[in-house]
């Protein structure tokens, strides 16, 4: 199935409860090309809350999405895969300067304080962000990430059965930030990822992720709520949600009323974060904007509604590579944690025009970030 001697970089594969998404990029000198892409629905019950329930079925879907990829044929077994947001942990911590020999042990102790799982139950990794002086003492800021071993092992198993070699397992928040944050901003930012099966809030500041939070809100649950309230089918509820959204002039404002009730919990969570930052981290700046991504961000009027409720500028950010390829923007800057990369993207010859409709941009944020990681791994 694969040419193992191919020089192709690893492709990105976003695995979620309801869909698989695939993107592969190619780099030539300073150019990045969209080389291959695909999307496929996952039957209900195959993956539940990020846990693989039907291994054989998921393996077959992965093989199919690769075989039917659009644009160009994928000739590598190397893949960069996202781990489910609800099962992973990422947070910026500070430790005192320590001897190199004790560094790993100190990190493990800190992870134990911040992550509600035993050391033997997780895989973890970290990245040193910067050294700072705080209260006349030198501190090290470190971004830590962790995931349960049983989740990582189950994903490894299905990928290997599909004939793939997992090159990197990445926390979803990292992939999203890599794709959406183009340059360091002096003000903290909130990224709201509204997915079909899960959602999350990502706090980004000073060139790195501060932490991310999984939230009990998803496009699927919103559709179910509408169906229950109006006593209609899920298909009818999904159609009503897409057509009406937060527009009070459509559907007699009924859908808007249901959505507002459902989003109350999300608003309370965001307001708590805003207050927490204002109280303890005002010296780092205040929130002025929120970036929306994920398929749920396409709800009509959602940006206006959130902006009014939170007093922030709310925008749906298009991944920079799509801006360049679909709207002929000039060279973009991609900011990943503390590293700068400068690319001028363009389509592969086999992809003549922008392959994504505008409402698809936001839902491909994670997988595109994974594909960028594939390019990075190929250069190391």
Instruction: Provide, rounded to the nearest whole percent, the portion of the chain with pLDDT above 70.
Output: 83
Domains defined along the chain, listed by start:
11-85+150-181+343-379 (3.30.420.40), 87-148 (3.30.1490.300), 189-316 (3.30.420.40)
pLDDT at residue 346, rounded to an integer: 37
- The helix/strand count (H/E) of the chain reads as 10, 18
310's tokens: 């939170």
pLDDT at residue 180, rounded to an integer: 81
pLDDT at residue 316, rounded to an integer: 80
* 158 within 8 A of 52, measured Cβ to Cβ: yes
The residue among 206, 239, 191, 218 whose CA lies nearest residue 92 is 206
The residue among 227, 248, 225 whose CA lies nearest residue 237 is 227
pLDDT at residue 105, rounded to an integer: 83
Q: How far apart are alpha carbons 256 and 166 in whole angstroms?
A: 43
pLDDT at residue 82, rounded to an integer: 92
Condensed to tens digits (0 to 9), the pLDDT of residues 85-133 reads: 888 888 888 888 877 777 788 888 888 887 777 878 888 888 888 888 7
pLDDT at residue 320, rounded to an integer: 54
Per-residue pLDDT tens digits of the chain, which is 380 residues long: 444 445 689 999 999 999 999 999 887 777 777 888 899 999 999 999 899 999 999 999 999 999 999 888 998 999 999 998 888 888 888 888 877 777 788 888 888 887 777 878 888 888 888 888 777 788 888 888 889 999 999 999 999 999 999 999 999 988 888 878 766 666 788 899 988 888 888 988 877 888 888 887 888 889 999 999 999 999 999 999 999 999 999 999 999 999 998 898 888 888 888 887 777 666 667 788 899 988 888 899 999 999 999 999 998 866 555 554 443 333 322 222 222 222 333 344 455 455 566 666 678 889 988 998 998 887 76
Question: Please, what is the end-to-end C-alpha distance for the chain in angstroms?
Answer: 26
Q: Which long-range contacts (CB under 8 A, 24 or more apart) does 125-131 make?
A: 127/337, 129/92, 129/207, 129/208, 129/337, 129/338, 130/338, 131/97
pLDDT at residue 196, rounded to an integer: 81
Q: What are the strands, taking DSSP E only, across the chain?
A: 11-15, 19-28, 31-41, 47-48, 51-52, 70-71, 78-83, 89-96, 122-134, 137-148, 165-171, 189-194, 199-205, 208-215, 289-293, 313-316, 332-336, 339-347
3-state secondary structure of 254: helix
Q: How far apart are alpha carbons 129 and 321 in whole angstroms?
A: 25
Contacts (Cβ under 8 Å, ≥6 apart) of 227? 233, 234, 236, 237
pLDDT at residue 334, rounded to an integer: 28
10 Å CB burial of residue 97 (0-12, 13-18, 19+) is exposed
Q: How far apart are alpha carbons 202 and 103 in whole angstroms?
A: 27
């Amino acid at each position: 199935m694969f040419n193992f001697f191919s020089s192709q970089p690893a492709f990105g594969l976003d695995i979620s409860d309801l869909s698989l998404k695939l993107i592969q990029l190619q780099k030539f000198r300073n150019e990045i090309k969209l080389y291959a892409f695909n999307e496929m629905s996952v039957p209900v019950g195959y993956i539940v809350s990020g846990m693989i329930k039907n291994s054989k079925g998921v393996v077959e879907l992965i093989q199919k999405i690769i075989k039917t990829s659009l644009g160009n044929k994928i000739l590598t077994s190397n893949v960069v895969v996202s781990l489910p947001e609800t099962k992973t942990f990422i947070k910026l911590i500070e430790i005192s300067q320590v001897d190199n020999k004790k560094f790993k042990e100190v990190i493990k102790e800190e992870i134990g304080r911040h992550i509600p799982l035993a050391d033997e139950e997780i895989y973890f990794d970290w990245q040193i962000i910067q050294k700072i002086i705080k209260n006349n003492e030198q501190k090290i800021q470190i971004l830590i990430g962790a995931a349960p071993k049983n989740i990582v092992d189950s994903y490894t198993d299905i990928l290997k059965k599909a004939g793939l070699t997992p090159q990197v397992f990445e926390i979803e928040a990292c992939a999203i930030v890599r794709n959406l944050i183009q340059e360091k901003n002096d003000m903290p930012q909130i990224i709201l990822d509204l997915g079909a099966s899960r959602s999350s809030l990502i706090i980004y500041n000073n060139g790195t992720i501060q932490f991310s939070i999984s939230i009990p809100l998803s496009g699927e649950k919103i559709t179910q709520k509408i169906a229950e309230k109006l006593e209609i089918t899920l298909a009818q509820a999904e159609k009503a949600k897409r057509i009406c959204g937060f527009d009070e002039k459509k559907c007699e404002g009924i859908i808007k009323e249901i959505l507002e009730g459902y989003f109350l919990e999300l608003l309370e969570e965001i307001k708590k974060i805003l207050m927490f930052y204002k109280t303890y981290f005002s010296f780092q700046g205040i929130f002025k904007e929120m970036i929306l991504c994920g398929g749920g961000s396409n709800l009509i009027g959602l940006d206006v509604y959130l902006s009014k409720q939170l007093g922030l500028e709310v925008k749906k950010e298009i991944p920079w590579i799509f801006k360049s390829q679909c709207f002929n923007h000039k060279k973009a800057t991609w900011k990943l944690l503390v590293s700068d990369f400068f690319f001028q993207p363009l389509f592969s010859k086999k992809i003549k025009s922008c392959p994504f409709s505008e409402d698809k941009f936001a839902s491909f944020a994670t997988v595109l970030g994974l594909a960028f990681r594939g390019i990075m791994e190929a250069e190391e």
